[in-house]
């Protein structure tokens, strides 16, 4: 069996969305002892991704939100549904395409079964991790930082009026958690202007004040054609994303950017918080045992599955 994705558009959904689509591919490949095939992706520049770097010229079946005859509909909350559908349709031995509109935002407990394989794939390249680890050491020493609390504040978008960053509840949670221990606040955001206004009563830092990794230099050294679409992305997220994987406490936005970084955080003492649509407050959560995107999928949720 071959698992591929003809719709792995480098411009459609950045690192967070792609993390979950790629993790779905990894999980299915492991479940069915299949070959994982995918052409170049921008995050090849960041992670030690191990696969056959090609896309098969044809596929026999696809996972999609569509309902055409060659489709297993993935707009379903249960990942085991996909596995069962593949078995029931005798797709083992076929080429399976993860289509561009494939919904892969499953409960993360389904990915937990393949955690070791996912973490092995999403390992930062040594050059990148060595650079950032050294910068974090310097910052901790120079600023006398004991623990890092990082807030991912997604502030610049509004999804069908369902997603607005819950500022009031966020500030309540930050005040409470910040006071518990000797934390230094860092902020990862898509709008520093708004973050500065919201956090006017706090001392905090942006990691890219201290550390910016010039990944384009790496790509030039590897003689990669930077005009290729898969490398046309903006890598400015990298500093924030890496620090989130090293935090001692992480307050997430309702975003795959937050959730994927929390899943890559191997700090066993790290605490994670997300806003619960149904509790109307930030709650602690286990990154490998939680629902994704409460706000963005609230039309798809019911109160029984709220956490």
> Alpha-carbon distance 241 to 235, whole Å?
10
Chain segment 129-180, per-residue pLDDT in tens:
999 999 999 999 999 999 999 999 988 765 545 567 888 999 999 988 887 8
pLDDT of residue 107: 79
More confident residue, 75 or 167: 167
Most confident of 86-90, 108-112, 178-182: 108-112
Over residues 235-285, the pLDDT tens digits come to: 778 889 999 999 999 999 888 899 999 999 999 999 999 988 778 889 999
| Low-confidence winner among 28-32, 105-109, 164-168, 174-178 (lowest mean pLDDT) | 105-109
- pLDDT at res. 8: 62
Predicted pLDDT at 182: 85
Q: Report the pLDDT value the prediction gives residue 66, as an integer from 0 to 100.
A: 52
Q: Where in the chain do CATH 3.40.50.11350 domains reside?
A: 126-305
- The pTM assigned to this predicted structure is 0.85
pLDDT of residue 208: 87
Percent of the chain with pLDDT over 90: 32
- CATH 3.40.366.10 applies to domain 126-305: no
């Amino acid at each position: 069996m071959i698992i591929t994705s003809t719709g792995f558009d480098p411009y459609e959904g950045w690192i967070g969305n792609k993390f979950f689509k790629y993790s779905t591919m990894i999980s299915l490949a492991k479940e069915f002892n299949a070959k994982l095939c995918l052409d170049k992706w921008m995050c090849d520049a960041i992670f030690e991704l191990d696969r056959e770097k090609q896309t098969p010229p044809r596929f026999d079946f696809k996972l999609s939100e569509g309902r055409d005859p060659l489709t297993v509909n993935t707009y379903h909350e249960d990942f085991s549904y996909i596995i069962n559908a593949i078995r029931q349709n005798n797709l083992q031995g076929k080429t399976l395409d993860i289509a561009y509109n494939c919904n892969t935002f499953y409960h993360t407990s389904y990915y937990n079964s393949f955690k070791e394989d996912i973490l092995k794939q999403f390992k930062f390249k040594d050059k990148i991790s060595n650079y950032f680890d050294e910068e974090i050491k310097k910052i901790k020493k120079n600023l006398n930082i004991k623990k890092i609390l990082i807030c991912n504040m997604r502030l610049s978008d509004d999804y069908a009026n369902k997603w607005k960053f819950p500022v009031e509840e966020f500030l309540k949670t930050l005040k409470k958690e910040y006071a518990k221990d000797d934390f230094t606040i860092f902020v990862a955001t898509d709008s520093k202007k708004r973050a500065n206004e919201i956090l006017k009563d706090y001392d905090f830092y942006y990691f890219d004040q201290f550390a910016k990794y010039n990944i384009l230099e790496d790509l030039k050294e590897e003689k990669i054609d930077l005009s290729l679409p898969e490398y046309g992305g903006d890598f400015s997220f990298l500093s924030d994303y890496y620090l989130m994987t090293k935090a001692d406490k992480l307050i997430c936005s309702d975003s795959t950017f937050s959730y994927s970084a929390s899943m890559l955080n191997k700090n066993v003492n790290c605490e994670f918080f997300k806003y619960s649509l149904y509790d109307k407050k930030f709650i602690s959560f286990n990154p490998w045992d939680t629902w994704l995107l409460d706000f963005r999928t609230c039309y798809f949720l019911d109160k029984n599955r709220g956490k």
